[in-house]
Amino acid sequence: ETWVPWWLVTQKPQPPPNKTRMSAQAAAPAHPSSTPSKKVNAAKLYVRGSVSNGMGLAILYCLSHYLGLQRYVLIAGGIQLFVFIIHGLPYRSEKFYDLSGSFTHLSVVTASLIFDERKRSPRQIFAAISAVVWMSRLGTFLYARILRDGRDARFDGIKPVCLSFMGAWTIQAVWVSLIELPVVLLNDRDDNLGLGLTDLVAMGLWIVGFLLEAAADSQKMAFRDKPENKGRWIRSGLWRYSRHPNYFGEMLMWSSLAFLASSSTGFTISTKEAAVMHFAWLSPLFTAFLLLLVTGVPAVEKAGFKKWGSEPEYMNYMKNTSCLLPWFPAPEMKED
């Protein structure tokens, strides 16, 4: 059923009552288990929305005030609010949620490069290009997924109430602002320290992380596209060696960029400007928090146990396969 904005709803003439049906309904005894369709707990959603928006705005304020990142916070928050108001709210739609996230990433990175004229160092250029490449791949992948699936079930429970639905967009502004800290902090200052061996290693690790995430996502999508795999879990390719290789690649990428940000100071905290650079580590820490404790591993594995928890092969895979770091695969089960 298509959702229509409340301000467009008009009263429609009702058809005349069906007397036969009314008589039958009146004659039928009331059943104690007869209940209307599942109701929305609006009060709970208002509380959830108040918490998510309140916490999100508090984090954005701290980034803006204490790290001096006002322009980037305004860009991230402004874009998310704009897309929510013109499309997300009127149509109760998450169709452009991921795409707007990628555009917000791009806008923040571009702003860090063009707002102040500076001679850019190889470290700064690499960080900016890496962020653009990452967001382009991830945004395209997520948008293609929602076009294929038609919707994102994660939003079903929060869309009925405006405040809770808005919380998702506020949190996305926080996500962009925190994730891009290594890139923004690097490009918001002069970087006069030359590249060292450790910088080159960090750049190489970023490439490894990117390839891991891209390959894992591609393998999973190809697996799901095969009819014979419907309703099954993937345990081939990179997924044979790790239960979440894409998450490992994601955390490796942002840890590498945070390392570059700290490296630009010579790993010192001798000045306030140098100390601020180390806040870039909030990026991989926030990524790990989301993936390991909130929306990533817990949600995916809870759904997996619900579907396949009674199958010995699945339990063998879960018990003997590394959660993140690709490692030795689970041993094959012996046949009885």
pLDDT of 28 above 70: no
pLDDT of 9 above 80: no
Mean pLDDT of the chain: 87
According to the model, what pLDDT value does residue 38 have?
Answer: 54
pLDDT of 117 above 90: no
User: What is the DSSP code string of 203-272?
Assistant: HHHHHHHHHHHHHHHHHHHHHHHSGGGTT----SGGGGT-S-HHHHHHHHHHHHHHHHHHHTTTS--SSH
According to the model, what pLDDT value does residue 25 have?
Answer: 45
According to the model, what pLDDT value does residue 33 have?
Answer: 35
pLDDT of 278 above 50: yes
Q: 3-class DSSP state for residue 314?
A: helix
Structure tokens at 173: 């502004």
Mean pLDDT score, 106-120 = 92
Q: What is the pTM of this model?
A: 0.82
More confident residue, 257 or 34: 257
Mean pLDDT score, 293-303 = 91
Asked which of 26-30, 118-122, 163-167, 308-312 is least confident by mean pLDDT, the reply is 26-30
pLDDT tens track for 64-109? 999 999 999 999 999 999 999 999 999 999 888 988 999 999 999 9
**CB count in 10 Å sphere of residue 31:** 7
According to the model, what pLDDT value does residue 325 have?
Answer: 96
Instruction: Give CA angle at 89 (88, 93), nearest 5°.
Output: 40
CA 94, 96, 101, 104 dihedral sign is: negative
pLDDT of 298 above 60: yes
According to the model, what pLDDT value does residue 336 have?
Answer: 56
